[in-house]
Amino acid sequence: MKKLGETIGKFVVKHRILIVIASILLCIPSLFGYINTDINYDILVYLPEDIDTMKGQDILAEDFDMGSFAMCVVENMSSKDILDLEEKYKDIEGVVKVVSANDMIGTTIPKEMLPSDVTKQFKKGNSELMLVTFKDSTVAIDAITQMREITSDKVVRIGGMSASTLDTSIVADSEIITYVIVAVILVLIVLMASLDSYVVPFLLLGNIGLAILYNMGSNIFLGQISYITKAIAAVLQLGVTTDFSIFLYHKYEQAKLKVKTNDEAMTLAIGDTLVSIAGSSLTTIAGFLALCTMQLTLGSDIGIVMAKGVFIGVLSTVTIFPAFLLVFDKLVFKTKHKPIIPSFNVVKNFVVKHYKIILLVALVIAYPAYYGNAHVKSYYNLTKDLPQDLKSCVANSELSDEFDLVASQVILVNKDIKDNDLNKMVNEIENVESVNLVLSPSELSNLAIPDEMIPDDVKGIFESDRYKMIFVNSTEEIATNKLNKVIDKIDHIIKKYDKNAIMAGEGPCMKDLVNIADEDFKNVSIASIGIIFIIMLFVLKSVSLPVLLVSGIELAIFINMAISYYTGDVLPFVASIVIGTIQLGATIDYAILLTTKYLENRKNGIDKIKAMDNAISNSAGSIFVSGMSFFAATFGVGMISKLNMIGSLCNLMSRGALISMFIVICVIPAILLVFDKVIIHTSIGFKQLKNNVKGEC
């Protein structure tokens, strides 16, 4: 690996100008890719395709042209104006059907002619409902945008998942540039203080900025990414890969003291850097790829993008950043200053003197941390993430408060089901607690309106060539245990009459999301620990060290999550699933850095106390800068984000960076010292020490 690094180093030294020019030119295709990568804002799209609810969504799209729908509250409009508005909406690309009670009576028959149980559901005072269906969820966003342009919010308020998705996209897109600016400013402050040149931080961030742009631009080959990935990828890549560039710069400065020219120094620095960051970057990449084991394919979305980002970050660290340093070497030298890094002598002395007490305290903390981690509460209703003054939130609140339309379900049954069975099914569903509305083909025949007077658009909503559709509403909140019990009862009822009946819609999809997320949480944790354990086994050439180091970082993760539990914070479900993997993958390299220094000292025959003293002295500064950079990159975003999903993730990551940094500097040394004998006897390269450790305390 070192020879490969030095070969790369010689190439970089020789072609530094070419590399700088090429790195800038690569911005053009990267920017094109970034702009043209599709962004998905619908989290339910990431559910597995083989579950019944997603099959139901496909049937709705294929058989009913109802890939998505919106409920509109129309206020102070006459029947004629509502029908005229329907025609305007129908002209919008992607809109399939627009239906209201007016379609059944036109402008000549008074609404009072409709049965009271129908009018009370669709009309409240001067407000009434309108249903708009869309070809699919993608076109729904553009369609709703145009619908909003046609009418003001005072006249028509558009609610439902598609409207919430649109508002999510508006908020996310408006904030993402701010995220990057805030993250860069805060990281720049950390680097200005911790590095010995005022120019190097700009070169370093320029290098990482290019790597981020390359990563985001290459996402075009994935087809699309989620808004969550887009929002956090840049700041996460900045936080995770900054330490690679810092490490190279330090190696370069050290090498300049050993050789005559800067070119020779850079060649050596690249070789040493590649050897050092290969293992740590591999564990970080593996941590992100562990997210691909999630059934919810959002994990693959985040995992692939971030693993790719770390890999690109490594490449840019050993090519672009060295070229920048060499080209601007004179400017770097002119702006030298004394770095401001805290001395860790007090911490170091305390740790090596009281390591047994530190480990004992860590063990005492472990149980409440584990308990808090296991019992932290999550929420799944992502519309609660949004600022409640957004247009969709106002509409959804009105639908809930005025019309009792809270949780919608769609039932699909075989078209050949007997009318008698359909009526019995509907009657049973109506008797389920909290169900306040059931619309079905049989309901149309009970309206006392001649069949020929009912428009085809209305009939087409409930019947296709293969299926009949039943619309059910419950007053229970989405993604709650109460609603999930209602869904189970309804599912039991419909299966009695049609064993192949399917439930779809927001309620059932969210129920599946809850079940799958709970399973993913367990699987991802096991996968990330297992993958990183195997990699560390080969990197550290030890059986015991992977167990000890992963245990230390897992303690940091448990503490991080437990803080949320004990402070009463309720986290978005995605945060609960991915934060452990991200924190493990991003901060395990801190532990590897300190451990490597310690092992080198022990192999040189230094006793364990002095070896640890030296290891902390030589690694604490780097760990501090890396941890603070990760903290800075994510802390600001967590503070300013209006989307709780993004804010919670970044708050957890920033807090996790600080906790991991503390654990690595204080607790990991205690673990290594207590288990020194075990490490020596279970690691390769300690033959000479095995006979001497008996005399050490």
Q: Give ∠ CA 106-96-99 in degrees, rounded to 5.
A: 25
- Digit-coded pLDDT (tens) for 346-399: 999 999 999 999 999 999 999 999 999 999 998 888 777 788 899 999 999 999
The per-residue pLDDT for 636 is 94
Q: Report helix angle 391-403 to 161-194, nearest 10.
A: 140
HEC per residue, 365-397: HHHHHHHHHHHCCEECCHHHHCCCCCHHHHHHH
Helix (H) or strand (E) holding 102: helix 102-105
Q: Token digits for 216?
A: 């985001």
* Three-state DSSP state, 98: strand
d(CA 313, CA 296): 27
pTM of the model: 0.88
Q: Token digits for 252?
A: 């370069």
Nearest CA to 11 out of 274, 244, 322, 252 is that of 322
- Phi and psi (nearest 5°) for 80? -65, -45
d(CA 231, CA 417): 47
Beta bridge partners of 123: 128
| Helix and strand numbers, DSSP H then E, in the chain | 30, 13
- Digit-coded pLDDT (tens) for 158-208: 999 899 999 999 999 999 999 999 999 999 999 999 999 999 999 999 999
Lookup result for tokens 């911005």: 27
- Phi and psi (nearest 5°) for 50? -90, 0
d(CA 555, CA 251): 31
Instruction: Find the mean pLDDT for residues 66-92.
Output: 92
Q: Quickly state the pLDDT bin for 109 (edges 50, 70, 90).
A: very low
pLDDT, greater one: 458 or 414: 414
Please check the confidence at residue 446 and state whether its pLDDT lies above 50. yes
Q: Do 680 and 602 form a contact (C-beta atoms < 8 A)?
A: yes
Q: What is the DSSP letter of 295?
A: S
The per-residue pLDDT for 693 is 55
Our CA dihedral for 192, 195, 198, 199, rounded to 10 degrees, sits at -120
Instruction: Find the mean pLDDT for residues 308-337.
Output: 95
Helix boundaries (H) for 37-101: 52-64, 79-90
Lookup result for tokens 């001395």: 343
The per-residue pLDDT for 107 is 45
Lookup result for tokens 């990935």: 229
Least confident range of 110-119, 216-225, 364-373:
110-119
Q: Do 108 and 102 form a contact (C-beta atoms < 8 A)?
A: no
d(CA 311, CA 289): 12
* Three-state DSSP state, 446: coil
d(CA 585, CA 524): 12
- Digit-coded pLDDT (tens) for 474-495: 999 988 889 999 999 999 999 9
Q: Quickly state the pLDDT bin for 99 (edges 50, 70, 90).
A: confident
Instruction: Find the mean pLDDT for residues 54-64.
Output: 92
Q: Quickly state the pLDDT bin for 41 (edges 50, 70, 90).
A: confident
Question: Who contacts 254 (Cβ-Cβ below 8 Å, separation ≥6)?
Answer: 269
Out of 311-325, 408-422, 426-440, 673-687, give the one with best mean pLDDT. Answer: 311-325
d(CA 59, CA 337): 66
691 Rama class: left (phi>0) / alpha (psi -120 to 50) / beta? alpha
d(CA 277, CA 36): 32
If you average pLDDT over every residue of the chain, what do you get? 90
Please check the confidence at residue 14 and state whether its pLDDT lies above 90. yes
Q: How many CB atoms lie within 10 A of CB 692?
A: 12
**How far is Cα of residue 186 from the mean position of the Cα atoms in its chain?**
22
The percent of residues in the chain predicted with pLDDT above 90, rounded, is 64
* Three-state DSSP state, 263: helix
The per-residue pLDDT for 573 is 86
d(CA 433, CA 203): 64
Which domains, and CATH codes, for the chain? Answer: 2-36+168-375+513-695 (1.20.1640.10), 53-159+389-504 (no CATH)
